[in-house]
Amino acid sequence: MKRVDWDRVFEYLRGSCYSPAQVVDYFDLDCEPGDVGEKMLDMGLEVCPGCGWWVESWELVDENGEVVLCDNCKG
């Protein structure tokens, strides 16, 4: 199995709206698209529920711990 440089995947996704399936194809990964989403969540990156862009997880939680939209959606 090809070693995955997850830091490169993180940087590729941050600020984009690529799907996990597109990432699997782009990096020629030997994993399922769901694995990409899980790994990114472990690394603190997730998809904004409002716009679909990948943002750092802390951007999607307010001071009360409630899930919110990213700064682009609030903008």
Determine the pLDDT at residue 74. 81
Strands 45-47 and 54-56, by their bridges, are: antiparallel
Give the largest CA-CA distance in the chain: 42
E-strand stretches of the chain = 45-47, 54-56
Bridge-partner residues for 46, per DSSP? 55
Each residue's pLDDT tens digit, 3-62: 679 999 999 999 999 999 999 999 999 999 999 999 999 999 999 999 999 999 999 999
pTM of the model: 0.86
Domains of the chain, each with CATH number or no CATH? 6-74 (1.10.10)
pLDDT for 38: 96
User: Who contacts 69 (Cβ-Cβ below 8 Å, separation ≥6)?
Assistant: 48, 49, 50, 51, 60
